[in-house]
Amino acid sequence: MSTEAIAVEKPKRNYNVLFGLTLLALLVLLWILLSVATTSFASANNMANLLRQGSMIAIMAVGQTFVIITGGIDLSVGAVVGFATVVVAMMINAGFPIWLAILVTLLVGVAIGMFHGFGIVKMGLPP
C-alpha cells in the first residue's frame, strides 16, 4: 500500500453575487416604498425605534452564528430568551431592584447554557 495522500478537491459552491444581494435589494426597496407611503417612516425617531427593536434579534443572531459555524444548530435560543424575559419581568414586578433582576436573569441564562453544554459534551447530544 502506498502512503501517499490523495488530494481531494472540495466541491465548489455555485455562488452568484446577484443572488447574495437580493435580500439587501428587497430591504432597500421596502425602505423606499415605506418612506414614500408614510411621512413618519424615515424620521430619526422611527429609525432609532427600529434599530432598538432589532438589536435583541441581532444579538441572538450573533450567538447563533457561532453555533452554526461549528456545525450545530441550537433551536433553544428563542425559548431561553423568552424564559429570561419572564424571569426579569416577574422579579421587577415583585419589587426587586433592576440590577438584581438583571443579575439573576443572567445567572439563570448561564445555568441553562451550562446544562445544554453538559448535555452536548458529556452525554453526546447533538448541538
Query: According to the model, what pLDDT value does residue 3 have?
Result: 63
Give the residue numbers spanning the domain of 24. Answer: 17-121
List pLDDT tens digits, range 6-65: 666 776 666 677 777 888 899 899 999 999 999 899 899 999 999 999 998 898 888 888
Domain count, the chain: 1
Q: Is 8 among the domain residues? A: no
- Do the domain assignments include residue 62? yes
Q: Is residue 68 part of a domain?
A: yes
Cα–Cα distance list, 116 to 66, 78, 93, 110, 111 (Å): 15, 14, 29, 10, 9
- How many C-beta neighbours within 10 Å does residue 105 have? 20
What's the whole-model pTM score? Answer: 0.61
Residue 12 resides in a domain:
no
CA–CA distance, 68 with 84 (Å, rounded to integer): 22
Whether residue 23 lies inside any domain: the answer is yes
Question: Does residue 101 belong to any structural domain of this protein?
Answer: yes
Write out the three cell numbers for 117. 453544554
pLDDT, one tens digit per residue, over 57-102 is 898 888 888 888 888 787 888 899 899 999 999 999 999 999 999 9
Higher pLDDT, residue 1 or 79: 79
pLDDT at 37: 94
